[in-house]
Amino acid sequence: IFVLTDPRGDDHGDGTMKYPLSYYDLQPGDLDLVSLAAYAEADGTRFEATFASRVRPTGRRTIDIGGT
């Protein structure tokens, strides 16, 4: 249906998005989206996101809007 591409190294959004303050889980660059695609399937739509780096599993804990 579509493929959107995005430059590498711009995982900061509009400047207001922040990674969690706990650097044990995610660090700048971890969620650098480089493409987003949508494909028609028989029972719906499949979305595929490609990141610049492999997505690492995070710990299971709550992080508030302030990143703590």
pLDDT at position 35 is 94
pTM of the model: 0.65
Q: How far apart are CA 34 and CA 53, in angstroms?
A: 10
Residue 59 pLDDT > 90: no
pLDDT at position 11 is 79
Task: Tell me the pLDDT tens digit for each residue of 4-55.
Answer: 998 888 877 777 777 766 656 677 777 888 999 999 999 999 999 999 888 7
